[in-house]
Every structure is written in structure tokens, then in C-alpha cells.
Chain A
Amino acid sequence: MDGFHDLGGFQGFGAIDHTINSKSYKPVFKEDWEHLAYSLMFLGAAHLNKFNIDQVRHAVERIGVRQHVGTKYYERYIIATATLLTEAGVITQEELDDALGSHFKLANPNHATGRPAIGDRPAFEVGDTVTVRDEYVSGHTRAPAYVRGKTGVVLHRTTEKWPFPDAIGHGDQTALHQPTYHVEFPVKELWGDAADDGYVIVDLFESYLDKVQA
């Protein structure tokens, strides 16, 4: 989904509100409601078993852009969890509105259906040159747009496999399990001279990649 959340390389943001080691990370939660975000997310995912974490990520991506820009981090996970529990029929918009005493704005409806992984291909090897498939996905995906169509080198193939996000992120329990690859891209290959030097390594599912024949 080419949404606002896909921020890598987006220009126009100012300084990061931090200086190294300047801020205490304690207390972990700065406001008395923040712990509810992940706890209620886990309640819906692990305890009630109504959705998975990929669906949570996608629900955050579905928050309307104007709302997304103005929200705090933990707030987005409250909205995502409320959205998914409503879509699963566990709770209703009316119950949320009643409890809040005003309109509880949820994420936008999901218009995409997701897509299956590509199976039946040989795995890539460390050292292989690969290209990120030049494809556009309306639903959930874990390939940041800044590597679309770009070429990099495989540094690592995971020894475990996980369900393909573009399918499981839409609740597809048949999602194929695939390894991911740490693919290294020179920053200048991604943004030319309008970038610093160095490398970016992106952790990409097998289905996002094609091998470049030597």
C-alpha cells in the first residue's frame, strides 16, 4: 500500500527530537493510557484470536492520512485494534461511540483483498544479485516503495520461514511460508546524489524478489 506510513526517503521532515543518550527511556509509558495500546492489541490477537499482527500493521496503514499525521504512535494502535475488533464483530462502532461520548473514528475500510505468494521457485543464495519486483500492491506489503525496481545483493537468507505478509495481512490463513533475505542496496542507487553515502539493508520476503542472472 503506497500510504503515508511508507516513510523511507520522504523529504521535508525536520530534526529528530533526540540527542544520543540524553533521554531516559524510563518510564517506558509516558502517559497512563499508553500501555493499553499493545496490551489490547495482544488481547485481540493472542487471546481472542481475532486477527494477527500483520493485520494490525495494515489497519494502522488504513488510518486516513489526515488523521494519521496528527496521531501519536500508541494512539494508532488503539485505533487499529478498535477497527479490527469492530470488523470482526466483537464490538460495534456504536458501543465505542457510547463509551467515548463522541464519535470514535476508526481506520478506513479495507478495499484490497491481498495476494498470494509466488511459490515453486528456487531459493536465492547469499551473494546473489536480486531485483525487487516492479509491482504495485493496493493491500498490505512489507516492501518499502524506495526499493521497488531496485537491485541489491543478498547478505543473508533466514533459516526460518514466515507467512507472506501480503496474504496473512488480509487474514488469509493459507498464506505460504517463505524465508526473507537481507538485501543490501547502495543508498546512491536508491536516491542518486540526493542522499548521503552508505548502504541500506532491507529484509525482504522471497516473493518480492527476482534473481538477476549473472
Chain B
Amino acid sequence: MNTFASKLSSSTPGERARALFKVLSDKNLIPEGFIEGITDLMENKWDPANGARVVAKAWTDPEYRALLLRDGTAACEQFGYTGPQGEYIVALEDTPTVKNVIVCSLCSCTNWPVLGLPPEWYKSFEYRARLVREGRTVLKELGTDLPDDITIKVWDTSAETRYLVLPMRPAGTEHLTEEELQKLITKDVLIGVSLPLAV
């Protein structure tokens, strides 16, 4: 290992995080419950189940679908799914000829209240570098092999718009309730790398 690397790795990320916490804590700059409150939002409240509810409702309620596509923020606000990193929401409509996929090539921007915090792979250098340039190949590698007549549209989250994908409702789901439909919509479906789960 060269000296550069060994100098950088003389402490672990966790040790550095706790050191910053300690310095701020020693100065009494962290109010009681502050960390716990935000952590609860991040761990529990912001969840892809929220986005699944939005999509399932859009699949079953044409008026809501129209609202979601016209004003995604208002549609998500009906459920209370707005907030930090989810203040200007746009839903991306998949069609028989278009598949939408979301990335943030510059960092990790994600629609937190609707999709939950981004997973590790979404924040990886690999996904950030490759999706915009070789979307079809990346989707195939991840497990979604799309026919050539489907156009892939990659949305790079480079400003304040926060997206969710509104996938097509799979055939054979006519008999399912809204609650059952929600189970077909995973986090990966909302990001756009996966199609809704088969019934």
C-alpha cells in the first residue's frame, strides 16, 4: 500500500462520523432528539411502500392518474408523501413503447418521501457513470431485458425535480385489489430498472 492510501485509511468511516458527532455534541450543538427524529424519517417514514400506494391508486383511479401526471406534487401530497427531497415531484409514464429510468449522475438525488432513501447500488459510481450512456445494456445486466422497439428514457436528476416511474399495469391483474396491486410495485420498479412483478 502506498503512503497516500495508508494515510487515508488510518481511521475508519465510522470513527470519523463519530468524531464529528462528538465535537458537535461536546459543544452542545445537537438538540435532544434531533438525530433520532431525522433517523426515524429516513428509516421508517420514507419508504417505497409509499410510492407503491401512489402507483396502485393511479392504476385503479383514472382521475388520480391524470392528476399524478399533471401535478405529481399535488398527487403525492394527498398521501402526505412530500417533504425534503420530494418538494417538486414529476411522475414518468411508461407506455407500450417507452421505458423510463431514473438516475442522479452527479450524486444521488432521489425522491425520498416516495421512494425511500436511495440504495447503495443507485449511488454507486458504476450506475451513475453507465446508465446515461448505455441504458439498455445496464438494464439487461440488472435483469430487465427490453425488446428493441421499446425506447429507453433515462432521467438524470440534476436539479430540484424528483421523479417516480409510473409503470404499466401488467396484464392479468384486472381482478386484483389496490392493496394487492401495491405488492407488485417494488423500489426498483419506482426507480425504473424493474418492471412490476409478475402476478
Contacts and interface: CB of A to CB of B under 8 A. Distances in A.
B188 interface: yes
A100 interface: yes
A117 B107 CA distance: 22
Interface string B76-96: 000000001000101000000
Contact of A201 (B116, B121, B153, B187): B153
Contact of B8 (A48, A67, A146): A67
A164 to B, nearest CB: 10
Contact of B160 (A6, A48, A180): A180
Interface residues of A, number: 89
Interface stretch (A26-34, A107-115, A123-131): A26-34
A182 B123 CA distance: 22
Given A27-B43, A29-B43, A200-B156, A191 B133 contact: yes
A176 B34 CA distance: 32
Contacts of B5: 66, 70
Which among B21, B22, B26, B158 has the highest number of chain A CB atoms within 10 Å? B158
Given A32-B14, A100-B15, A16 B106 contact: no
B23 A96 contact: yes
Contact of A196 (B14, B105, B117, B135): B135
B158 A142 contact: yes
Interface string A1-19: 0000111111101111111
Nearest to A41: B38
A184 to B, nearest CB: 8
A20 B193 contact: yes
Given A73-B120, A75-B13, A13 B129 contact: yes
A122 interface: no
Given A90-B29, A103-B10, A201-B154, A6 B116 contact: no
Given A25-B48, A60-B107, A201-B154, A31 B159 contact: no
B191 to A, nearest CB: 10
A21 B194 contact: yes
Contacts of A71: 13
Interface of A: 5-11, 13-23, 25, 27-40, 42-43, 47-48, 57, 60, 66-67, 70-75, 78-79, 81-82, 85, 90-91, 95-96, 99-105, 142-144, 146, 156, 158, 160, 162, 165, 180, 182, 184, 187, 190-191, 195-205
Top 9 A-B pairs, shortest CB-CB distance: A8-B105, A18-B121, A198-B152, A100-B19, A33-B17, A75-B13, A99-B19, A203-B159, A20-B194
23 contacts: A10-B125, A11-B133, A19-B142, A22-B143, A23-B119, A35-B39, A40-B17, A47-B34, A72-B13, A78-B16, A78-B17, A90-B27, A91-B27, A95-B26, A104-B16, A142-B159, A162-B160, A180-B161, A196-B152, A197-B136, A198-B136, A199-B152, A199-B154
Interface of B: 4-5, 7-11, 13-24, 26-27, 29-31, 34-35, 38-39, 42-43, 48, 84, 88, 90, 105-108, 116-117, 119-121, 123-130, 132-138, 141-144, 151-161, 186-188, 193-194, 197
